[in-house]
Structure formats: structure tokens, C-alpha cells
Structure 1
Amino acid sequence: MQRKRSQGEPESFFPSLKSLCLENCPNMKSWWRKRSIDDDNEDDTTVIGTSTMAFPCLSSLEIANCPLTSMPLYPSLDDDLRLVKTCSRPLKQTMKMNITGTTPSSSTSSLPLSKLKAFHVHKIEGLDTHMLDEYLKHFTGLKKLTIGDCKEVDLEGMQWEPLKNLSHLEIYNIPKLVSLPIGLQHLVQLKTLKIRNCNGLRSLLPVFQHLTFLEVLVVMNCEELELSAAGFQIFQDHTRLRSLALENIPECRHLPEWIQHLTNLQILSLVDWPNLTSLPDEMRCLTSWKKGVRRTLVPIGIRLLTFLQ
């Protein structure tokens, strides 16, 4: 793909393009046949920093299994950014841009990606705690965030206050996660929390007591997690929770008493509880079960159906 040079004028790539997906292109390292910058210099912004090489109208972008280190930048994204098994360099350079005048709708200076609604990051080369933390503080309009398989990221060391509008958070394959980051208490609008494959996670306390707006909670494959601790009477404040899914939590031998406080629970899914033998009598308090959405409870070796009838 060739780009046109015009001195003093912004260079636009596909000026009407709204959505771009690059997936499973394992040999694509550059957007151009000839490299426009030194690809060996991770922080090179001598050319890109002038913020003229960019998609002017791009709203959503997905790059998956594609090791791009050089491409037109994307400061105007206002919908969805998905980065999976790719290089962090274009993101880093995009965040350094000044997008005044480079997008048709920009009349005043604004931060790149400040209007982004959804951000999905998975196994990104070069992404560490400091970098992710620095970027997220500018994503003030973010509604949905997914962080997965980032070995160098320590979520407990990040600042979460700027993400006050976040309503959906997914975390998976984060080996350093031992407890929920204390900063999550600032996510007062959080409605959905999904945690998967975090085998180091041992407790949801003390942060969970602050997430009282939660409507959906999913916890899967967290082998060290204990849910029966005494501190979980805090569930009495989670009256909005309507969907609860717990899968492969081997440390739990029985459902704790706090489940009786989930009076608006409509969907309950229990999968792979090899030591579960019965359900607590307190589950009779779950008055919000609806016939159309009742779920089969299927621990290993147990199939419990009658208690919902």
C-alpha cells in the first residue's frame, strides 16, 4: 500500500474507512513495502510524532496474530480497539500524537483514544504495567475493558480512578493477580465482572464489597480462590446481582451462606465442583428465579434439578 507525500499537508490513509481488521497475517510487520521509520528503534517518533500519517476517520480496529511494528496510526478511534498477539509499538506512537486538525471532527486539541468505548488487549509484546496504566488514564470514556495473558502486567499496581465510566471488566490469564486490585473500588458503575484462569487469585476481598452495582459475576478456573470466608457476608449489599457463574473452584466444598442475600438472582451456573454434595437450605430465599432462565447445576458427578422446581 503506497502513501502519497505532500509537504505541509496531513497524509490520509483510506479517508472514509471506519473499521479495519487485520487477522492471522504472521509475516506482516509493516504497512508499507519499504519501512518509513527505523523499526529497530522502539521509541522512534521522529516521523510518526508529527502526527500526519494516520487514519482520519477510523472508528474501530482489530489486529490479531499480526506482528505489525509500523502502520498508519489511529488516534480517532471512538468505538473498539482489539489488540491480540501483536506489537505495542503502533499503540505507543498513537498515544504520543497530537490529533488537532488531523481528524475532520477535531476543532480543539484532544488526547488520542480519549473517546474509545472498548479496549481488548491480549498477549501484547512490550506491554508492561507502567505502559498500560499510563494509557488507561487517558481512556476516560471507556465502557468495556478486557485484559488477558499479559505476563508483565501487575493489575494491583495500577491506577483505576480515571475509568469511572467502566461498566464491563474481564480479566484472564494474569498470573500475578493474587487479590482484586484495590483501585477497582473506584469503578462505581461496574456492572459485569469476569475473571478466568487466574490461578494465583485467592480472594475477592476487600475490594468486592465496594462493587455494589454488579449485575453479572463470572469466576472460572481460579484454583486457589476461597469463597466461603467469613468476610463474605458483604454479599448482602449486592442485591443487584442477577447472574452468577462459578466454574472449577476446587477450594470450595460447599456453597456459602451468603448466597441467600442474592435475592434478585435469576441465573445461577455451577460447573466442575467435584466436592459439592448438596445445596444450602438458604437457597430457598432466592425468590427471583424465573422459569424461563433457570439453569441446570452440573458439578462433576452431580446433577441437581429438583431444588428449582
Structure 2
Amino acid sequence: MGEDLPVEFRESLRKHTNLRTLRFNSKFSLTEDILSSFKCLRVLWLQIKTGEVPSSIGKLKRLRYLRIESDSVTTVPNSITKLQSLESLVLLCRKITLLPGEIWKLQKLEHIGLREDTVLTYMPSGLSHLTSIRTLRIFFVGKGIGCKLNELNGLIHLKGLLRIFNLENVSSVRDCVEANLKGKHNLETLHLEWNDEGVNRVKIDFDVLGNLEPHRNLKVLGIKGYTDNRFPRWMMDPLLPNLVVIILKQCRNCQNLPALGQLPSLKDVHLEELDALQFIEGGSVVRRQREWFPSLEKIYLIANPYLESWVKEEEEEVSLHSVVLLSVRNCPKLSTMPILPSLEELTIEKCSEKLMLSLLKMHNLEDDMDGLTSLCTLEIQEIPNLVSIPKGLQNATALKEFIIFDCESLLHAFPEGILLPTTLEKLWIVKCDSLMSWPNGLGNLTSLVDLGITCSRNLQSLPEEMRHLTALKILMIGGWDGVEPLKDLEKYDLSIFLPCDFPRVTRKTATIGFLRWKQEHVRRHLCICCPPGPSGDLNDQYHSSETAAFGEASLLGWFKLNFVGSSKEVCMGSRRVAGFGGTISNSDGPVIKPYAGSAGEVPSVDSEVLALWNGLKLLSTLPSSPVWIVGHSELVVKWRTIGH
């Protein structure tokens, strides 16, 4: 258990026993007597650092909403079933192993919320008695224990999302029939998941899935771990006219997909780890172009090792007219795709050069110049045999983001004689060690804001054309052993300069401008502060005795990044090892992204730099918002100009 509440805090709470809403977040524990004294509570939100939930919670008879967040709580006391007015029970406790066995007594309960990563393995029996339930996002099928799948029958008001886990534990197909998913017309999202345990259960999987047909109102369907090579009739026929998203993952024996092209509302297709799949559509399919995948917008193909093409037999090329996003990752045998005339975002990773060439080529008709005119984002990663980008990319007149990463054979980032599109706002060419020349027309990119480059063994200096990049604000560079190529960076009006290979970058390199934030830019967008360092810390020479803060910020609507790095002696002082970490939180407190890692054998200040760098990378994945950054190294915070 955590520490008991201080006396003065206890006395203060006793003066407010008429509270109707209480959110408790403290390192101290709420004692049994204190908690039970809040007889009027309607809403209780507990964030428990250590220990379990006090059993006296069952005395809060008027409680309607209960939310418990904890990384320590493993059980919820059975006394909770005395809360006859409870309507919402939210248990965000990852380590929870049991729900109250008599939860069925909570007849007014409408919402049960659980964490998706909970270690819970089954639901308590009697769930079917909770006929008022509207929200039950997670349901676990127990292995010979707890609630059976057929108890979903009584939950006729279920709506929104339902995820059913551990379907390998279903012992009777009759339970699936009695679950009556087809009768739950308010369900919009259904995920069905089997654990991949390597057992031979093909026949029962087919029967289980065949009897879990949802209502035709369903919008999102996800299936994971299914072992049969066929899908049941309700998926093969267009019986889901409102389906918008389908996700098939780890269906390792799947050879034939449902007739997805006939689903009129389908917008997103996600196929991942389908080890036996060769074609999205196998055999001849009679179709009219505008009726085949009429609404499809996004395609995700991930880790399908034997996938060869979209269509098995086709005499002429076909088009998917409405597709705007295609992401293909780790599909080494995939060589062709339908024509995608409206494509806006393309990602290709660990695939064949042939696939990339087919996607970026011109259409068959020589006078057709519209093939890539809608493309805004192109990301190419780890294509080992790629030597040059196809000339067809010259037609990408709307291209704004162009990223090439880890293409070891790439000699030319853009075809000779072809200029980069002047619309580019972001250009990254990283870890392409054979690169012979910088892209043509780099100096014409007057809209370029974000540039990331690493020098190859053939290029050890920045291109002269960089001086014309008048809009450049973010520069990430690396690949040099020294600092000579960086000596002219002072002339650029950069907001951020980040070395992109920190383990190799020296402290001197970083001081050239690691975070060179202009003061007027800081006031609008950033607040950085450095609290005093603890006495005796190995890094005290880098800490300030006063807080270093740049700009003033009202924190409402901001993100907050806390970063820290440190190193220590090991092997009796023969070497030092360092680590780093941090958190990103909302302005109102909750942590939304923690991170940590090893920094290798570097000094403390270098690990602080690495901590900040990784935090900034995470921030770049979040919606645009002002940022408050807090660290413990004044030197890192104040790296703004050469020689600082």
C-alpha cells in the first residue's frame, strides 16, 4: 500500500464529505474510513499509484460513475457489487486478473470499460443478466471457466465497439449461434480474435466464424488469428452493405479472400500477415470499372510474403479510381497493382523494385500525363536494388513530402535532367550510402521547410544550392565524422537544427546549433525550461542554479515534454554507460507517450541530447500544438549558436 494521507490532508477531506464528484490522484492512499465518509458521491475517479482498491468503496450507495486507473491494482473488491446505482464502471488497470464474481447484481450498469492490454483472461459468469449494458468493448472467452460466449445473447442493447478475444476457447458452436451477433443492430465495430497457439483447429474455426455473422449495419470488421483457408458465406456474399473498414490479420492459411470488390461502402482494406495469400482476387471476376471497389480509398498491405498481385487473371489493366492512400510494407513478391489515378499518399517499404517502378511509371498511353498529378506524399524505404527514382515522378506536380530511407544501391535521388517538384515542403534522403549526387533543382525548392539528409561516402559536403532555400526551418543532417561541412550553418535562418545520427555526433557538432530557436519563434511556439540540478549529480557542471526559461506560456492546449539522460560508471569505473527517457503529456496532466532507451557509452550530456532528440521525434507524430519542454541540462537547453 502507499503512504497514508498526511493528518492535515485527512482533516481537510473530512470537511468536504458532501462532495458529489471526486478525482483522487496522489502518491498517498485513500484509507477505508476516509473513502467511506463521502456518502453523497455520484462520480469517483481514482488514480492509484500503489496498492489495491479499498473495500469500503461498497458503501458509496449513490455512486453512478466509477473510474479506476492503476498499474498496481490486480483485483476489484466484491463489495463493488453493492453499488446498486452504478451505471458506468471503467477499470483502466492493466494487471487486473479478476472482475467481481457477482457483477451481475449491478442491474443498472450500462457501461463497462477495460484496457485492451489487460491481463484479464475471462469474464465472470452471469453477464447475461446485465440487460442494460450499452457499452462492453472487450469480452474474453474463458477456457472452461467464467462467462461463455452465449451470454452475449441477453446484451441486446450493445452498441459501438465489441472485441471478442480468445475465440480458440469456444467449445461449442451452439454458443456462437446463441450469442446472436446478427441481432445486435447497434454494433458498428466488431473485432474477432483467436490466439495463434499453433494448434490444429481449422474445422472449428470455420464453424465458429460462420456462426458469428453480424448485423448488416456493421461498419468495421476485424478478424485476427483465424486458421481456416476459407471464409464463411456471410463474408463471401455482399451481405454487409454498410461495411466501411475490413482488417484481416494473421489469418495464416487464408488463400481466397471474400468478394471485397462487391462491398459498396468499403473504404479501407487492411491485410497483414496473410502468409498463404497470393492474390486479392483470384480467378476471373466480371466487373464494371465503376462498380468494382466503388468507394475504396485506403489500402494497407503489410507482411504478406507470397502476395504477387491484386488480380490473378486479367487481360487488361484495371483501375481503382477512388484510392487515395496505398501503404505496402514487407511484401517482397508483390510486383503489380491496379492503376491508381487519384493516389495522394504512397508508402513502399521492403518491397521489390519492380513494384515501385510499376506504381510510379506512366500509364500505357504515352499521351496520358495524369498518372501522378494527385500524389502529395511519397515514402520509399529499404528497397535494396533501387538505383534511381523513375522518371514518371516528374508528373507529381502536387508532391509535398518526399522521403527516401535506407536504399543502399540508390545512386541518384532523382533522374538526371529531371528537376524536383517545386511544391516540395519536406525532403528526406537518409542512409543512402551509394548516393552519387544531390537531387537536381534543390535550390528551386522555395517552399521547402523540412530537409533531412545524410552524406554518403561519395558526398561529404552540403550542396551549394541550399543557400537558396529561403523557407527552410528544420534541418536534420548527419553522416560526417567532423564538423567542417557544418561551418556555414549560421547563415541559415533555421528554427531547428538536429543531427540525425546522435550516437556518432560529437558534442562539438551538436553545439553548432542543436536547438537554435529564434527568440520571437519561441514566444509563439515553445517554452523550454531547466530546473536546478541535484547537488552532487555527475552532470552538475551542466545544470543551472536558476531555472532557464525562454518565452512565457499559458499551458492550456500545450503538450509538455519532460526529458532526462544520465550515465554511470560500470565495471569498476573502466567505462560509462548511459540511458535516456522522458514523457509527453497533455496540458491537463495525463501522460500520453512515455519513452526510454539506451544511449551506449557516452557522457551524461550526450544522453540528455539523445533524450531531447527522441522526445522531439515523438512530438512530430502528434497534432500540431505549442510545446513546453522541461529538461535538467542547461547546456542542452541553451545550445542555440556556434560556440555557446
Of the candidates 54, 67, 82, which is equivalent to residue 262 of structure 2? Answer: 54
SS in structure 2 at match of 1:236: helix
SS in structure 2 at match of 1:164: coil
Cα distance in 2, alignment partners of residues 182 and 150 from structure 1: 19
Name 2:350's counterpart in structure 1: 149
Name 2:254's counterpart in structure 1: 28
Name 1:305's counterpart in structure 2: 511
Cα distance in 1, alignment partners of residues 447 and 246 from structure 2: 37
The alignment-based identity, stated in percent, is: 22
> Matches of residues 106-185 of structure 1 in structure 2 within 5 Å?
113-124=320-331, 126-128=333-335, 131-132=336-337, 135=338, 138-151=339-352, 153=354, 155=356, 159-160=361-362, 161=369, 162-185=371-394
Name 2:426's counterpart in structure 1: 216
Name 1:283's counterpart in structure 2: 489
Alignment CA distance shift 1:84-1:192 (3 Å): same
User: Is the contact made by 2:253 and 2:274 (CA closer than 8 Å) also made in structure 1?
Assistant: yes
Shift in Å at residue 213 of structure 1? 1.1
Counterpart residue identity of residue 448, structure 2: L
Q: Which has the higher strand share?
A: 2
Cα distance in 2, alignment partners of residues 180 and 70 from structure 1: 27
Shift in Å at residue 28 of structure 1? 3.1
User: Is the contact made by 1:250 and 1:275 (CA closer than 8 Å) also made in structure 2?
Assistant: no
Counterpart residue identity of residue 185, structure 1: Q
Counterpart residue identity of residue 412, structure 2: S
User: Is the contact made by 1:119 and 1:144 (CA closer than 8 Å) also made in structure 2?
Assistant: yes
Q: Specify the structure having the higher radius of gyration (Cα).
A: 2
Alignment CA distance shift 1:177-1:152 (3 Å): closer
Name 1:45's counterpart in structure 2: none
User: Is the contact made by 2:436 and 2:458 (CA closer than 8 Å) also made in structure 1?
Assistant: yes
For the aligned residue pairs, the C-alpha RMSD in angstroms reads: 3.4
User: Is the contact made by 2:361 and 2:390 (CA closer than 8 Å) also made in structure 1?
Assistant: no
Of the candidates 233, 248, 251, which is equivalent to residue 3 of structure 1? Answer: 233
> Mean alpha-carbon deviation: is it higher for 162-171 or for 11-20?
11-20
Cα distance in 2, alignment partners of residues 245 and 123 from structure 1: 24
SS in structure 2 at match of 1:183: helix
Corresponding position: 1:75 with 2:293 = yes
Cα distance in 1, alignment partners of residues 482 and 296 from structure 2: 46
Name 1:296's counterpart in structure 2: 498
Cα distance in 2, alignment partners of residues 276 and 209 from structure 1: 31
Cα distance in 1, alignment partners of residues 311 and 401 from structure 2: 28
Counterpart residue identity of residue 82, structure 1: Y
Cα distance in 1, alignment partners of residues 411 and 346 from structure 2: 22
Normalization by structure 1: what TM-score?
0.71
Shift in Å at residue 116 of structure 1? 0.5
Task: Figure out how many residues of one structure are paired with residues of the other and give that number.
Answer: 261
Shift in Å at residue 93 of structure 1? 5.6
Shift in Å at residue 13 of structure 1? 3.8
Of the candidates 176, 183, 187, which is equivalent to residue 396 of structure 2? Answer: 187
SS in structure 2 at match of 1:246: strand
Cα distance in 2, alignment partners of residues 213 and 193 from structure 1: 11
Higher relative contact order (CA 8 A, sep 6+): 1
Cα distance in 2, alignment partners of residues 16 and 4 from structure 1: 14
SS in structure 1 at match of 2:465: helix
Alignment CA distance shift 1:194-1:179 (3 Å): same
Shift in Å at residue 118 of structure 1? 0.1
Counterpart residue identity of residue 388, structure 2: S
SS in structure 1 at match of 2:510: coil
Shift in Å at residue 89 of structure 1? 6.2
Could you report, residue by residue, the CA deviation over 1:248-306 in whole angstroms, capped at 9, with x for unpaired residues? 634332223222121111111123x143422455434423x23xxx1332552423234
Cα distance in 1, alignment partners of residues 462 and 234 from structure 2: 64
SS in structure 1 at match of 2:389: coil
Counterpart residue identity of residue 240, structure 1: S
Alignment CA distance shift 1:53-1:163 (3 Å): closer
SS in structure 1 at match of 2:497: coil
User: Is the contact made by 1:254 and 1:276 (CA closer than 8 Å) also made in structure 2?
Assistant: no
Gaps of 5+ in 2: 1-209, 211-231, 283-291, 363-368, 517-639
Of the candidates 457, 475, 482, which is equivalent to residue 268 of structure 1? Answer: 475
User: Is the contact made by 1:13 and 1:54 (CA closer than 8 Å) also made in structure 2?
Assistant: no
User: Is the contact made by 1:17 and 1:57 (CA closer than 8 Å) also made in structure 2?
Assistant: yes
Cα distance in 2, alignment partners of residues 53 and 81 from structure 1: 13
User: Is the contact made by 1:179 and 1:202 (CA closer than 8 Å) also made in structure 2?
Assistant: yes
SS in structure 2 at match of 1:91: strand
> Matches of residues 86-125 of structure 1 in structure 2 within 5 Å?
86=304, 87-88=306-307, 91-92=310-311, 113-124=320-331
Corresponding position: 1:197 with 2:399 = no
Could you report, residue by residue, the CA deviation over 1:199-227 in whole angstroms, capped at 9, with x for unpaired residues? 11112242662421111011122110134
Alignment CA distance shift 1:13-1:278 (3 Å): farther
User: Is the contact made by 2:348 and 2:356 (CA closer than 8 Å) also made in structure 1?
Assistant: no
Name 1:36's counterpart in structure 2: none
Cα distance in 2, alignment partners of residues 251 and 199 from structure 1: 13
Cα distance in 1, alignment partners of residues 480 and 242 from structure 2: 55
Alignment CA distance shift 1:151-1:89 (3 Å): closer
Alignment CA distance shift 1:220-1:210 (3 Å): closer
User: Is the contact made by 1:64 and 1:85 (CA closer than 8 Å) also made in structure 2?
Assistant: yes
